[in-house]
Structure 1
Amino acid sequence: MAKQDYYQTLGVPKDASAEAIKKAYRAAAMKFHPDRNAGDKAAEHKFKEISEAYEILKDEQKRAAYDRYGHAAFENGAGARPGGGFGAGAGFGAGGFADIFEEMFGEFVGGRGRAQAQTRGGDLRYNMQITLEEAFAGKTATVRVPSSVKCEDCAGSGGEKGTHPVSCPVCHGSGRTRMTQGFFTMERTCTHCAGTGRVIEKPCKSCGGSGRTRRDKSLNVNVPPGVEDGTRIRLAGEGEAGLRGSPPGDLYIFLSIEPHRLFERDGADLHVKVPIPMVTAALGGPIEVPGIDGARVRLQIPAGAQSGQQFRLKGKGMSILRQHHRGDFYVHLAVETPVHLTKKQQELLGEFDKAGGKGKSHSPEAEGFFAKVKEFWQELKE
């Protein structure tokens, strides 16, 4: 079953603001949360759908990818996880309404390690343009990506060599601080340690205590045969380095295919328009057309060929992703009327026209059309 549009799932228009999306999610999550609908499988399924939709639409990068590519932007191994990735899908656990309250009130109600999850490295996007021939055959490309990498001097710890992080003196290692106000006790992320529970007394001089530095890195990207325009390739762990040794993000390669000067692609099939001389169309004869694989394809044109006539060459089209067979190749004829005729050539064509066809028309379609026109005019006169 096809997935429902994420905007429809949340009941918001495609140009909805982030605040409107958040408000719609809160209302729907409160209504369908399993804690309020015990044993109701339909409510449980609906809660999963709205959670998945909100996971995508609340993030600017994910939302932009979804707006352009739809659900296809999150296929092939993109699972949901806190704080990173283009992945869709969100479940629910034993936290009950605390999950919803955390989304509503942010840091003031138990974050359960959200700050630590946010230290994961950011995902990166790289746009790669390839030719149709490269999409057919596949290729290995080397790309240079500006990124954050693990600091070599401190091995990503953020501290000087020989030192170790110590327990945060403010939150005593919990990563959370509490504040009592009247009858309420509110808990929030410790600002001193950013929720990690540990602090670095002697930060690394090279990275300033972050555990990462800015640097371009070169990566080899394998583009498989048969990719289409908009295909996304995910390189796990090749995004930005995480803060102070946290896991890195992912790198996403988005492919776009250049228009070809000869071929038009339609999925796995290829089409080419071939102009042929009038004489070849009339008498028939062989022609050669190039294949996407560089081979020369020989085609026998039958006598009396017409413009628009097509020939199908099975298995001569594009490669198909992760399959061993190919699409088809369609050759479309375009009969070319001769131009720049010499006087002699004009005379010969005139003689040809006068010679007739011994009871048969040389241009049956034209004669049939004008016969209908004559009948039409005759009917108008009556």
Structure 2
Amino acid sequence: MSIDRAYAELGLPPDASDAQVKAAWRRLVSHWHPDRNASAEAARRMQRINGAYEQIRLSSVTEGVDAGPEGPDSEPPEPSDPAPGRTVRRKLRLSLEEAALGCTRVVRGRLSCPCAACEGSGALAPEAACPRCDGAGTVPSGLWFIWPPVRSTCSGCDGSGLVHRSCLACEGRGQQSLRYQRTVRIPGGVRRGDVLVADGAGEGQGGFDGRLELLIEWRPHPFFVAGDDGSLRCEMPVDGFAWLADAWIEVPTLSGLQQMRLRRGRHVYRLRGQGLPLQRRGSTRGDFVVTVTPSFAESLSAEQQSLLAQLAAAAQGQPAAAAVRDWREALQAWARQQPSASTA
């Protein structure tokens, strides 16, 4: 049963919390348990409900204590630690969206473990008699004119009379390769450097015996820069005319594109609660700070040039901005103090 199907079986969305999963499981068990439900479907439905709950439980992760040695994220093979009960350490790189909102990831890899057929020796017991010397350890020298015949050490068994039979399961290496695949549910709000621990689930379920430790890393984001206080920052260019016109624009957020209204003369905007979660599995999030840089085209079309000329003409009859008004008054006062051309 897939993890998505398991959530659907319990009637839950994939981002349901552990408390919601447990509550849904208890509610369904109280209804479908054969001791309480006499329908023919009760036993089969209970089996599906318990299977879904177990699948979600195994996919859940908890916070680890120590990251330990870091295994390569791009290379699945792990060190051949003795099984069972091994600890497999992996890096898990998440996007900011995945880290903030939570996600479900499939972790695949390969482990090296002692061959069960030969118990790691690479050879099968018992040893067989050497076919070259029939177990004697020596063979005739081949010189027919020497009497009595001289025997030499058998090169096939080095004189032991016995030969090892290589294990066919591991081709004599003593080690076998075990592939594993684990579906883990990452809670929203994980940070860089967090270590999450998941159950290995056992070989019978496509996993391994032991536990899986995941060291969380964040992939670089094309737009966002994360702050230590849970804030997100984004710098983006905007059309200068749209900025002058107080137009609405689309800005990227963790949840997708969102409408934001520009304000003439304003460059920094704060979107409350659109940053990173302040706590794992928490609903409170930091702020998203957007810094805009108005940009104008190097050349204007004839229509744009005409409209700008009309705007400039209309502005002549309107009250000027304070800075412009002060400048004009200072300029006129300076001009009055200058000698006229006739007196020069």
Greater RCO between the two (CA within 8 Å, min separation 6)? Answer: 2
More strand by share: 2
Shorter-chain TM range is: 0.3 to 0.5
More helix by share: 1
**TM (normalized to structure 1)?**
0.42
**TM (normalized to structure 2)?**
0.46
